Amino acid sequence: MRARNDLDWLPPSFKAIRWTVAGTLWTGMAGLLGGALMFAKPGLFIYGKGIAVLFAGGYYAGDKAARAVLRSRLSRLAHGRLDLSRLKREADGELVHVRGRVKARQAITGLLDGRQAVYRRVVFAMGAERWVHEAGEDFHLVDETGERVLIEVGDARLIAVDGKRGRVEGELARQVFELTLEPQSRNRTDGIRISRKDKGAISCGEVLVQEGDEVEVVGYKNRSVDLTVESRLERDIPMRATLRAGKDLPLLISPVR
């Protein structure tokens, strides 16, 4: 998705932070741009570029501030944090906040260095456009007692500081470009020619959630069938407490620093 749509799901209070910061930056940069125009007569291209930088900078600053505040207030979204051992007693559909370490079931591969992970957030720029792409595999969250819950990453969002972007080229540039396409159109771009101008402008950063990482998760409690559940009667259906996205919020994953 385009970066400007990355936080469209934010609750109203966090959207207010986003637009307040963006608006403040827009006002300041507009003043600087207006002052520059009083002393020079730039062409239309320069003026247009200034406006593009103004809006891009506002979006980026507003989103960065909103994500930082959201990381510090995750527990407030769900009225406090639960121990994993208590999660099974919570009503299905309840929004909860938990913390534990990642236990992988399956893995995906990082784009930039090939490390294995359960979740990946890629932020990249092609020319003046910024994009965000997130992907992952369901994983277990485990506490120090061995209690575990299943985390379903469909419609999840990673709340973390974005990775530092660096230039990408060749085959990696093609793979990054494919992330802008619909899933059914990917892997059909073997013959694509990325212009020299665009190729030099593609930069990419990545954040991975890996086996053993400590994370906080906010999601809606549910249950799913899990044949690895041991403490049950023989006639019982083996069920595991599960966290997933809901209609009001995506599943939120935040690495513990």
**pLDDT tens digits along 192-211:** 455 544 445 789 999 999 99
Region 96-110: what's the mean pLDDT? 95
**What one-character-per-residue DSSP string does the chain give?**
-BGGGTTTT--HHHHHHHHHHHHHHHHHHHHHHHHHHHH----HHHHHHHHHHHHHHHHHHHHHHHHHHHHHTHHHHTTSB--HHHHTTSPTT-EEEEEEEEEESS-EE-TTT--EESEEEEEEEETTEEEEEEEE--EEEE-TTS-EEEE--TTEEE-SPPPPPEE--HHHHHHHHHTTS-GGGTT--TT----HHHHHH-EEEEEEE-TT-EEEEEEEEEEEE-TT--SS-TTS--EEEEEE--SSS-EEEEE--
φ/ψ of 234, rounded to 5, equals -60, -35
What confidence score (pLDDT) does residue 180 get? 86
Q: Answer whether residue 60 shows pLDDT above 60.
A: yes
Q: Answer whether residue 226 shows pLDDT above 80.
A: no
- In this prediction, residue 62 has a pLDDT band, given cuts at 50, 70 and 90, of low
Region 202-228: what's the mean pLDDT? 89
Region 238-252: what's the mean pLDDT? 89
What confidence score (pLDDT) does residue 46 get? 45
Which has the minimum average pLDDT: 33-42, 58-67, 233-242? Answer: 33-42
Which has the minimum average pLDDT: 25-39, 89-103, 127-141? Answer: 25-39
Q: Give tens-digit pLDDT for 118-172.
A: 999 999 988 778 899 999 999 999 999 888 999 999 999 999 988 888 999 888 9
Q: What is the mean pLDDT of the chain?
A: 78
- In this prediction, residue 22 has a pLDDT band, given cuts at 50, 70 and 90, of low
What confidence score (pLDDT) does residue 78 get? 79
| Percent of the chain clearing pLDDT 70 (strictly above) | 70
Which has the minimum average pLDDT: 55-64, 95-104, 175-184? Answer: 55-64
Partnered with residue 132 across adjacent β-strands are 123
Angle at 223 between CA 249 and CA 73, to 5 degrees: 35
Sequence ranges of the domains in the chain: 3-72, 80-255
* Of residues 77 and 150, more confidently modeled: 150
* Of residues 124 and 71, more confidently modeled: 124
Question: If you average pLDDT over each of 4-8, 20-24, 59-63, which comes out highest?
Answer: 4-8
- CA gap 24, 58 in Å, rounded: 8
What confidence score (pLDDT) does residue 239 get? 74
* Of residues 82 and 158, more confidently modeled: 158
Structure tokens at 121: 């957030």
- In this prediction, residue 7 has a pLDDT band, given cuts at 50, 70 and 90, of confident
